[in-house]
Structures are given as C-alpha cells and as structure tokens.
Amino acid sequence: MFGNQKGGVGKSLLTTMTATALGSDPLNLRVAVIDLDKQATIYNLRQIDKRAYPQDTPEPFTVFKFKVTDFQKSIGEIDQSFDIVLIDAAGKLDDDTDVMQQEISRALMFTDVLFIPFVAGFGNLTATYDYLNFVSQIKEIRQLQQRKLRVYGFINQYRNRSRANDFLIQDIEAIRQTEPFDVLNCKLHDFTTYKDADTITSLYNPLSNDSAKANFSEFINEIIKTIKG
Ligand SMILES: Nc1ncnc2c1ncn2[C@@H]1O[C@H](COP(=O)(O)OP(=O)(O)OP(=O)(O)O)[C@@H](O)[C@H]1O
Ligand SMILES: [Mg+2]
C-alpha cells in the first residue's frame, strides 16, 4: 500500500503506475488494485480509460472497488487469485478514535509493505508525523500476531536544486529519530508524463533512455526488491 493521511502526495498515481508496471511486460504479474477510497480515483479512472482504448486492449491490472467495511470478506479470495495486491485508501485518521477503530486499520492489518510518499513544500509534516505514529501502533499489534508490517518512506515530486526538498530531507531525518522507518534511495521526480499516466498503458520500459522512464524504472526496481524483502 502507498499510504499517508496527507492528501495529494501521489498515493493513487503511484498505485496506478506501480500496478501497471508490475502487470505489463516484462514482468506480467497478476496484479489487483483494491480501491477503498470513497473518491474511487482509480476505479473511476479505469472506467474512463476503458472508453478511450479499443475494447480488446489488455488491462495490466484488475480493479476492485470495495467499502472498507466489506474489504475483509474479499481480501482472502483476491490474495489467492493474484500475485500482488495493491490497496488505494484514503488515509485520513479520525481524531478521538482508537487505533483499531480507525477505518484504515482494516486495510493496514492485511498489508505486508507500506510505502509512505513525502512531498516537499506541502505545509508542515504534522499529518505525516501523526500517520507514522498511528502506523507504529499498528506495527506493534501486528508484531504480537507475528505478522510484520514493513514501512518505507520515500520522496515524491522531487525537484533538483530545490530548497524545499533540502528541508524535507532534514525533516525526514528528524522524524526518524522518534518514529523509525526505512527510506528508499530512489526519489521520484515531478514529471508531466507521470501526471498524465493512465490505468492501461505502462510508462515502464527498461530500454528507454527518457529520463522520466529511467527514473520510474529505478523506482519500480527498488519497490520490487523491497517487496521481495
Ligand atoms: N511524481 C509526480 N510527478 C507528476 N505528478 C505527480 C507526481 N506525484 C503525484 N502527482 C500528481 O499529483 C496529484 C495528486 O496525486 P494523487 O491523486 O495520486 O494523490 P493522493 O495522495 O492519492 O491524493 P488523495 O489523498 O486525494 O487521494 C495528481 O494530479 C498526480 O498526477
Ligand atoms: Mg488518492
């Protein structure tokens, strides 16, 4: 899962791009995306993309839309039928609600690896910090059940020579002092090609020299390595 309660940090976009890359040549894994967000970003996008492409165009991943409350009933079966399952959820935490009563906990209890996008210049990091604090409580519960949740942060929408990104890197280091998590080496840059990604066509081509594709290749390779553990 790509998760962060902060909005607009790239959760849905990166879920889509990762699912497409894993489900297309050369990997061709069986990939499911479960859309748990009330906005149904990916589910709706797929409906639009379906109309834009010829009917027999292969879809690199299957999209399921569920209410968070129905998720638990279906996850077992989906997990059996696919190599990899990505979950897109609204990360928003409710104040004054216990950890296990939070909606997102239902999904996080079944997540093996959580990737947290950090974006520079996006207000302060309080929301991300609160989210990490919440995640570490989930991690403790999972640890008791011998079901480890692995958590990785990474920088999204990175811009070279940006002061805001220098500050973000310092902030991440500061947060890691109290809420430890690993950080991916690859920073995902801000590319228009990414912004325009659809749910059918992969940007991922290992042979391409285009800098956006090279950057995403590096990202997806690190994601795969991380998931494999
Ligand atoms: N690396 C990137 N390069 C270019 N555009 C990006 C990048 N990451 C995210 N975006 C763009 O930023 C916007 C917000 O991304 P997205 O909708 O994926 O965020 P989100 O975290 O899912 O938000 P929400 O909390 O509303 O669900 C989108 O227009 C997306 O295309
Ligand atoms: Mg989203």
Q: Which atom of ligand 1 is nearest to the CA of 190?
A: 3
- Output the average pLDDT for the chain: 92
Report d(CA 202, CA 92) in Å as an integer. Answer: 29
Whole-number Å distance, alpha carbon 90 to ligand 2 midpoint, is: 6
* CATH code of the region 11-228: 3.40.50.300
Give, in order, the Cα–Cα distances in Å from 45 to each of 121, 125, 135, 169. 27, 29, 28, 32
The pLDDT assigned to 97 comes to: 87
Evaluate the CA torsion angle 43, 192, 194, 205 in order and state its sign. Answer: positive
pLDDT higher than threshold 70 for residue 222 = yes
pLDDT > 70 fraction of the chain, expressed in percent and rounded: 97
* pLDDT at res. 2: 97
Over 90: is that where the pLDDT of 206 sits? Answer: no
Give the Cα separation of 181 and 32 in Å (integer): 26
In terms of Cβ atoms closer than 10 Å to its own Cβ (0-12, 13-18, 19+), residue 146 is exposed
Mutating to test ligand 1, I would choose from 2, 4, 13 the residue with most ligand atoms within 8 A of its C-beta, which is 13
Condensed to tens digits (0 to 9), the pLDDT of residues 7-37 reads: 899 999 999 999 999 999 999 999 999 999 9
Q: Is the pLDDT of residue 209 over 80?
A: no
144 C-alpha to ligand 2 centroid (Å): 30
What is the model's pLDDT at position 194?
93
Residue 69 has a pLDDT of 86
> What pLDDT digit, counting tens, does each position of 121-166 carry?
866 788 888 899 999 999 999 999 999 999 999 999 999 888 999 9
Identify the pLDDT of residue 6. 87
C-alpha distance from residue 175 to each of 118, 132, 159, 169, 180 (Å): 12, 9, 21, 10, 7
φ, ψ at 149 (rounded to 5°):
-105, 120
- Choose the residue to mutate in 195, 213, 215 for probing ligand 1, maximizing ligand atoms within 8 Å of C-beta: 195
Integer Cα distance of 109 and 219 in angstroms: 25
Which ligand 1 atom lies nearest to the CA of residue 119? 8
Mutate to test the pocket of ligand 1, among 12, 42, 162 (most ligand atoms within 8 A of CB): 12
Confidence of residue 215 (pLDDT cuts 50, 70, 90): very high
Q: How far apart are CA 102 and CA 107, in angstroms?
A: 10
Residue that is written with structure tokens 């590319």 in the block: 191
Q: What is the mean pLDDT of residues 152-181?
A: 93
- Kindly state if the Cβ of 36 falls inside 6 Å of ligand 1: no
Contact 18, 161 (CB under 8 A): no
Predicted model pTM: 0.95
